[in-house]
Chain A
């Protein structure tokens, strides 16, 4: 048995050596895909990966200097868990030695990777993580979407102007930085619009993976709000709205971009009808030439309509590819500088220009659940 182990060890060593020799002359570029493939956020991760993979199939190579290198995607599952996310990011930069990282769906998960990519000087591009803290103070983290101070204002405006709401209740997923941040920006903006410090009747909390919200909802019902703002993960939100309707709450529900998943509809069914949320992109209003390319390719391959975050996945890949090409190098700091200099890059979900905080400035769209479909309502300019 022991000699067998020795032989195995020797084989492993030899093959390791062979691997190292091979990698000294790179023919491929590795791009890390840092997404939740399992756990509470799996559906969001899967939709972004769809977009990244589609872009990879359409544009599989990148020109570095005078060499055409093949781009290899390394998918690392962060398991929708902040601790696992740090491990997954570490694995990508240390073991797989990726040139750049894409993702993750979920601001908390992206923030877990922040110090790691900063430390190893590997540029990372978040696709739909909207919490300001993802990129703040981290010159290696970029994002191709808008941030929550804008998103919160958009929804507060909608509640105040369209729904004529005067009093709101907020229900937050308290363990989720995205939800807590967005709730705060909504609250600030709504109070300013109504000119009433007491416009937010209450801020109620729940935890990720909770399934019973009846206690919070019973409290919310007794306050009789005009509108309920409940940004959070899609399954929890769908269960929450379902239970609210079961308790006889009729106030409209407003939320954020994370609601746009098939699971939100699948779990919530008729109960989520009429739910309104802000997101990044609507297939009804293509913005650039790339939008059309993306939509055609996606519809042909998957035979359905893409979600907004799928378009952002597509864009993230293209932005990184363009930056590597412009930098003419796989060196982290050089790719970073090239990314930072991106100007009006035509992505599928709109033009991308990074501001000094490495955030993209983009318009938001508002969608409503109507007849079991996410339907475009309006576009809001920043």
Chain B
């Protein structure tokens, strides 16, 4: 394998990994605050991508306006989803909330099939995302450069919010002990709504970036990325924002580099992610950067 070829494989891996990382951050954030694995995250991701598509295709908005509109509407949707499907179950056993999340996931997927149709749609990728950049023998699209930048920007903003603002302090308090936080006059409902809104906004950003990189939409498009990014979050240590980023890059890297060096194993591609999950859970159940306590779900 020549150096240029290796660098191309590495560029592919970084580009996919940063996308995984971007989506995994949303998963990990909701889990970090609520100890809830939001299985509908992948479907919120799908919704964001479709909203941006229709804003451009039907309402003829420029792509950046469509992008902003779609992420805001999706954030609002996340808040409503929490209010309807999760809040009434907050005092029930955790398994009930998880089952409710699975139900919400199937509901969104199937309503999606009815509303958007089962046939895939092609996305018009904005010109600035669709420029081919070549350096030596390595060739990447501009969207693959935008995504890692966006991932690290989101990471920085999120770390700032969680560690430097009052809302962030309240989030950490809710995460540590919900009842004690309430006794400190923290509006727990507002904080949880905020968390869900932010998590869904991140899912929408991920969904739209995904649709710019792989310009095809279908109502079940969130399932596999949702699972993979959940795995990325668990590998990194679910609840840890840095862990999600690390997990995303690791997963993308392992997936693509294994394919690059062992092309005969391509049929087992999705299995890599799950094998990695099992190994991490056996060796270090709290994930690479996770806290010490282990939560049973």
By a beta-carbon cutoff of 8 Å, the part of chain A in contact with chain B is: 37-40, 42-43, 46, 174-175, 202, 204-207, 209-212, 214-216, 218-219, 221-222, 235, 238-239, 242, 246-248, 263, 265-269
Contacts and interface: CB of A to CB of B under 8 A. Distances in A.
A224 to B, nearest CB: 12
Interface string B1-30: 110010011001001100000000000000
A39 B255 CA distance: 24
Contacts of B259: 215-216
Contacts of B257: 215
B214 A43 contact: no
B132 interface: yes
B5 A267 contact: no
B224 A205 contact: no
Contacts of B266: 174, 204-207, 215-216
Nearest to A249: B139
Given A214-B12, A235-B216, A207 B267 contact: yes
B269 interface: yes
Contact of A218 (B12, B113, B120): B12
B260 A218 contact: yes
A189 to B, nearest CB: 23
A216 B263 contact: yes
Interface in B267-294: 267, 269-270
A325 to B, nearest CB: 34
Given A46-B119, A218-B260, A219-B260, A246 B141 contact: yes
A246 B9 contact: no
A215 B256 contact: yes
Contacts of A174: 266-267
A212 B270 CA distance: 12
B120 A43 contact: yes
B88 interface: no
Contacts of B9: 215, 218
A266 B256 contact: no
A247 B267 contact: no
Q: Which of B8, B113, B260 has the most CB of A within 10 A?
A: B8
A142 B265 CA distance: 35
Interface of B: 1-2, 5, 8-9, 12, 15-16, 113, 117-122, 132, 134, 139-141, 214-216, 218-220, 224, 255-257, 259-260, 263, 266-267, 269-270
Contact of B120 (A222, A247, A263): A263
Given A39-B118, A218-B9, A212 B214 contact: yes
Nearest to A209: B224
B122 A214 contact: no
27 contacts: A37-B118, A38-B219, A42-B117, A42-B120, A43-B119, A174-B266, A204-B263, A207-B269, A210-B269, A211-B216, A212-B12, A212-B16, A212-B214, A214-B15, A215-B255, A215-B260, A218-B5, A218-B260, A219-B260, A219-B263, A221-B8, A222-B2, A239-B214, A246-B139, A263-B121, A266-B121, A266-B122
**8 tightest A-B CB contacts, nearest first:** A266-B122, A38-B118, A215-B259, A214-B12, A42-B118, A205-B266, A267-B122, A211-B214
Contacts of A37: 118
B263 A218 contact: no
A81 to B, nearest CB: 11
Given A206-B269, A246-B141, 19 more contacts: A39-B218, A39-B220, A42-B117, A43-B119, A204-B263, A207-B266, A210-B269, A212-B12, A214-B15, A215-B255, A218-B9, A218-B12, A222-B1, A235-B120, A235-B218, A238-B122, A239-B214, A246-B132, A246-B139
Nearest to B258: A215
Contacts of A175: 267
Nearest to B117: A42
Given A204-B263, A246-B141, A215 B118 contact: no
Q: Which of B134, B140, B141, B214 has the most CB of A within 10 A?
A: B214
Contacts of A205: 263, 266-267
B270 A207 contact: yes
A235 B218 CA distance: 10
A305 B82 CA distance: 47
Contacts of A40: 218
Contacts of B218: 39-40, 42, 235
Contacts of A239: 214-216
Q: Which of A40, A214, A235, A247 has the most CB of B within 10 A?
A: A214
A33 to B, nearest CB: 15
Contacts of A204: 263, 266
B214 A38 contact: no
Nearest to A236: B216
Contacts of A266: 120-122
Nearest to B223: A209
Nearest to A269: B122
Nearest to B266: A205
A307 to B, nearest CB: 13
Given A214-B12, A242-B215, A263 B139 contact: no
Nearest to A247: B139
B120 A214 contact: no
Nearest to B224: A209
Q: Which of B121, B132, B255, B266 has the most CB of A within 10 A?
A: B266
A267 B263 contact: no
A247 B8 contact: yes
A248 B139 contact: yes
B16 to A, nearest CB: 6
A263 B119 contact: yes
B263 to A, nearest CB: 6
A176 to B, nearest CB: 11
